[in-house]
Each structure stands twice: as C-alpha cells, then as structure tokens.
Amino acid sequence: MLENNNGKVAIVTGASSGIGYATSLALSKAGIRVAIGARRMERLQELEQQIVKNHDEGGRKVEEEEIFIQRKLDVTSKCVIKNALKDSYCYYNKHMYMLKS
C-alpha cells in the first residue's frame, strides 16, 4: 500500500461504514495511526474494536500513542473539520493525511 509508514497518521472521515471503514482497517494494518470520525459513534467504537482485534491477531499490540481519536464528525461543517485537524495534530504532534470518504 504505502511505504515507510512508521509514525504516519491519517484522519479518515466517514469511517463508520463502507470505504471509510475499510480504508481505516487497511491503513491500520499498514502501520499507520488512524484518527477516525463519522456521525455514528457506535460504529466507530466497533471499528476501534476491530482494529485492536486485527493488531492482536497479527501479534502486535496497539501502543498507547496509537489510540484512535474518535470524533463525531459532520463533514459539511468547515469548522468541525478544522477542529478535527487541529485536535489530531495536537494529539499526535505530526502532519497527517486526510481522506474524506
């Protein structure tokens, strides 16, 4: 998928289903930290559990700094998106990629 993923962070919106859900799993499997967001928080909690399960099955524990930021995101609001980017940057202290699905 991507090379040299060590320390990279991706924000995935629409992560509660479909392409966003699958992309979050794929990025996490590739070693990229993911900050997930969507309107349906209960589905984000399921996604977080699946990511942790995938790491456990792969023999790799999720490190504390890899904890996902779960946000209820409405991508129609520029203010909400700006705050998500700012909060994610402050949490990870890294530049990141954002995929809007």
pLDDT in tens, 23-53: 999 988 887 888 888 888 888 888 988 888 8
Domain that holds residue 55: 9-100
Other CB atoms within 10 A of residue 80 CB = 16
Residue 4 forms part of a structural domain: no
Residue 3 forms part of a structural domain: no
Give the global pTM.
Answer: 0.74
- CATH classification of the domain holding 91: 3.40.50.720
Instruction: Give 39's DSSP letter.
Output: S
